């Protein structure tokens, strides 16, 4: 909840509402990637970034 | 009012604590975990800062993180959007990390702090100033100035890659910013990558390599022309526009498209550890010259916008001490202060100071009796006699304990004058990438073989890399064409002409190794190939023990300067504890270790059972 509140405040402050559809699509793809990534590969990515 | 600052999750994680605006402690996580540039949450550094200041997390007014994660996320999304469909590989790699962790940074920080100690999560006040404001605050608030231009230059923060600010009293006003993907830091890092060094740590090597290039040659002039006409559009105010056709850092996993650069410069990217050839050095000097031109223009613009006679600098590019020396020579400003922890580690200190003066609106008082408010950057842990003896017991080490420090320095000065290499571990550990005489390996600057010995037998690093002098502040003008101060080893100036040996005939055509064998001056091991030196002036008021040692060396030899290099081997973080130092003594060909008043003679130590496998512990930088 705190995160959503912060994010809303951030969009308001930066006047970047045009980002919302893109964020939703990218986050959806991202979520798929998170769940689609096998347990073995995920830690590897984490160490790199 | 106590405030804890934290930098983490990218590189060089660190923590710093201030009390009523006074810097109490600061340390990088890598020193505790022994993992160079450790990006993890700085649990150990936070623990140390709390202990040093006698504070618990519940006592803190605020915990401050050094950048704004949501703004960074905005940059990430807009960059992928702007470059789409290019950047899929990078997106696939980075977005899951953001969705899992970095977007929920508040929670992550709170969770990580529980590893430090139990605390009231609801009471914790978390603040997030911008990355470049953290850098600017780290440079301005500890400086001895009440009014200053502030120049911050690095790879990238959220959007900003460089900024010009005006510091006045307790306030900092941002006047101008350069934004991603156009970045002086990333430009330099791109060349670091192309020349076969590691990005984020090899920039220093590139700077050291540059003087081996023939700056006046048509080859270098050609490279500069190519850089300016194809890669960088440089404006009069120092802002740059990088031609993204030649850079892939914004969306790829590499810095540059190798093939396109090969076509541009006429040779392929150098593989890591491959031999260095003249064209590598020439390209190195070309980008160094271009970088200097850019930062000098930025400094001029900072002066024009602020009208100040003082300049403060921070950000990774402020560690380019050759460029810093050039800025000074331009006489744009009267006075300079460069944050010793200019990289992201220093952001931990800067964000805490920004919160204190800007968010909490506290008054700022400058103590003009001191050089600055950094306490010599000796802000880390100190080793007690008990810890030294415990480490000695663990390894059945043999030592001599001196009752008098004055007696100790006389003996150590004698060892130095005989050509010995000494590990010198005293007082509080330095904050920032430079060893400033508390965690240093030291030697005799007059010794012709010292550079080779230190590079190949002790540090296990490339032979071309130069070493820096620690000189008594009052004697600086005797050795160098520089009479100011440089307490943090962040300025490069020439060795006095009268001390130099002229170049032999045909020197410019010599190979890298032959150039190295030329005895450059009467202090050859700290004189770089272009007769320059990265000076550290040692001041009695900020480090009396180190000053006394050099003074004792001067009494013995007539020379008030010694070689100072960081106490570590290649790829290893600088030593923190007496145990780290003892291990370094035994793993290398160092001759003596001095920790506090304890002297360990290598020849008297029990046989070291460990083989060469320890080298695998450290990733080469």
Q: Is B82 left (phi over 0), alpha (psi -120 to 50) or beta?
A: alpha
Using alpha carbons, list the distances in angstroms from residue B297 to B156, B159, B225: 19, 21, 18
Q: How far apart (Å, rounded) are the C-alpha atoms in residues B424 and B432?
A: 17
Domains and CATH numbers, chain B: 378-617 (3.90.870.20)
Q: Do B70 and A6 touch (CB under 8 A)?
A: yes
Hunting for tokens 């006409």 — which residue is that? B229
Calculate how close chain B gets to A30, using CA atoms only, in Å.
Answer: 6
Per-residue pLDDT at A49 exceeds 60: no
Confidence category of residue A37, pLDDT binned at 50, 70, 90:
low
Q: Minimal Cα distance from A43: which residue of B?
A: B97
Render pLDDT for B84-115 as a digit per residue (tens, 0 to 9): 888 888 888 888 888 888 888 999 999 999 99
Residues 6+ away with beta carbon under 8 Å from B109: B6, B41, B63, B65, B126
Q: How far apart (Å, rounded) are the C-alpha atoms in residues B431 and B437?
A: 12
| Mean pLDDT, residues B239-245 taken together | 97
Q: Which two tokens stand for residue B418?
A: 């005989």
Is B293 buried (19+), middle (13-18) or exposed (0-12) by CB count in 10 A?
middle
Render pLDDT for B112-140 as a digit per residue (tens, 0 to 9): 999 999 999 999 999 999 999 999 999 99
Q: Do B78 and A10 touch (CB under 8 A)?
A: no
What pairing do the DSSP bridges indicate for beta strands B147-153 and B160-168? antiparallel
Per-residue pLDDT at A39 exceeds 70: no
Touching B: A residues 12-41, CB under 8 Å: 14, 16, 19, 22-23, 26-27, 29-31, 33-34, 37
The complex scores an ipTM of 0.76
Render pLDDT for B526-565 as a digit per residue (tens, 0 to 9): 999 999 999 999 999 999 999 999 999 999 999 999 999 9
- Bridge partners of residue B422, in order along the sequence: B442, B592
Dihedral, CA atoms, A7, A8, A9, A13, nearest 10 degrees? 100
Using alpha carbons, list the distances in angstroms from residue B350 to A18, A22, B29, B164, B169: 33, 34, 16, 16, 16
Closest CA to B313 of B291, B293, B337, B343: B337
Q: How far apart (Å, rounded) are the C-alpha atoms in residues B30 and B574?
A: 8
Chain B residue numbers touching A26 (CB-CB < 8 A): 77, 80, 95
Helix extents (H) in B426-473: 450-453
Q: How far apart (Å, rounded) are the C-alpha atoms in residues B109 and B423?
A: 37
Which secondary-structure segment (H or E) carries B316? none
Chain A residue numbers touching B95 (CB-CB < 8 A): 26, 29-30, 33
Per-residue pLDDT at B621 exceeds 80: no
């Amino acid at each position: 909840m705190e995160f959503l509140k912060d994010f809303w405040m951030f969009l308001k402050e930066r006047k970047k509402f045009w980002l919302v559809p893109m964020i939703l699509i990218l986050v959806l793809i991202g979520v798929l990637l998170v769940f689609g990534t096998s347990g073995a590969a995920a830690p590897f990515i984490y160490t790199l970034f | 009012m106590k405030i804890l600052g934290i930098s983490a999750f990218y590189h060089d994680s660190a923590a710093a604590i201030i009390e009523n605006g006074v810097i109490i402690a600061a340390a990088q996580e890598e020193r505790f975990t022994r993992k160079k540039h450790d990006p993890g949450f700085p649990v150990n550094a936070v623990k140390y800062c709390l202990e040093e200041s006698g504070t618990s997390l519940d006592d803190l007014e605020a915990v401050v993180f050094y950048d704004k994660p949501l703004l960074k996320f905005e940059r990430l999304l807009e960059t992928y959007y702007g470059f789409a469909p290019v950047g899929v590989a990078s997106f696939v790699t980075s977005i899951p990390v953001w969705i899992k962790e970095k977007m929920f940074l508040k929670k992550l920080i709170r969770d990580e702090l529980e590893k430090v100690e139990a605390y009231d999560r609801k009471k914790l006040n978390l603040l997030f100033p911008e990355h470049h404001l953290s850098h600017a605050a780290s440079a301005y608030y500890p400086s001895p100035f009440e009014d200053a231009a502030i120049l911050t230059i690095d790879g990238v923060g959220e959007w900003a890659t460089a900024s010009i600010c005006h510091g006045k009293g307790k306030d900092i006003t941002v006047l101008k910013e350069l934004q991603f993907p156009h970045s002086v830091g990333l430009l330099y890092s791109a060349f670091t990558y192309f020349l076969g060094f590691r990005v984020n740590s090899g920039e220093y090597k590139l700077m050291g390599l540059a003087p081996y290039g023939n700056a006046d040659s048509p080859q270098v002039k050609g490279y500069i022309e190519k850089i300016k006409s194809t890669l960088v559009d440089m404006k009069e105010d120092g802002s740059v526009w990088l031609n993204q056709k030649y850079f892939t850092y914004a969306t790829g996993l590499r810095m540059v498209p190798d093939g396109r650069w090969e076509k541009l410069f006429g040779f392929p990217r150098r593989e890591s550890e491959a031999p260095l050839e003249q064209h590598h050095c020439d390209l190195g000097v070309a980008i160094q010259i271009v970088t200097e031109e850019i930062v000098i223009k930025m400094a001029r613009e900072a002066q024009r916008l602020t009208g100040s006679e003082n300049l403060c600098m921070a950000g990774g590019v402020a560690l380019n001490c050759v460029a810093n020396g050039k800025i000074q020579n331009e006489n744009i400003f009267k006075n300079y202060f460069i944050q010793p922890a200019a990289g992201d580690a220093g952001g931990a200190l800067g964000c805490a100071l920004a919160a204190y003066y800007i968010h909490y609106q506290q008054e700022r008082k400058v103590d003009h009796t001191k050089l600055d408010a950094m306490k010599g950057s000796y802000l880390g842990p100190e080793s007690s006699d008990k810890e030294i003896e415990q480490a000695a017991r663990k390894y059945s080490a043999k030592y001599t304990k001196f009752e008098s420090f004055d007696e100790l320095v006389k003996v150590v000065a004698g060892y130095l004058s005989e050509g010995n290499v000494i590990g010198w571990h005293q007082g509080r550990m330095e904050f920032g990438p430079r060893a400033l005489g508390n965690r240093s390996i030291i030697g005799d600057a007059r010794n012709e073989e010292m550079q080779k010995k230190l590079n190949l037998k002790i540090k296990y690093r490339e032979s071309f890399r130069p070493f820096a002098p620690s000189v008594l502040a009052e004697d600086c003008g005797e050795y160098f064409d520089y009479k100011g101060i440089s307490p943090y080893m962040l300025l490069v100036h020439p060795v006095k002409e009268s001390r130099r040996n002229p170049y032999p005939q045909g020197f410019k055509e010599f190979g890298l190794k032959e150039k190295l064998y030329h005895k450059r001056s009467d202090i050859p091991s700290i004189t770089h190939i272009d007769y320059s030196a990265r000076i550290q002036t040692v001041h009695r008021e900020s480090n009396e023990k180190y000053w006394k040692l050099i003074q004792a060396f001067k009494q013995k030899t007539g020379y008030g300067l010694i070689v100072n290099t960081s106490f570590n081997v290649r790829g290893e973080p600088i030593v923190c504890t007496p145990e780290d130092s003892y291990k370094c003594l035994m793993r290398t060909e160092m001759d003596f270790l001095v920790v506090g008043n304890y002297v360990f003679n290598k020849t008297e130590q029990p046989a070291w059972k460990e083989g060469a496998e320890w080298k695998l512990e450290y990733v080469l930088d």
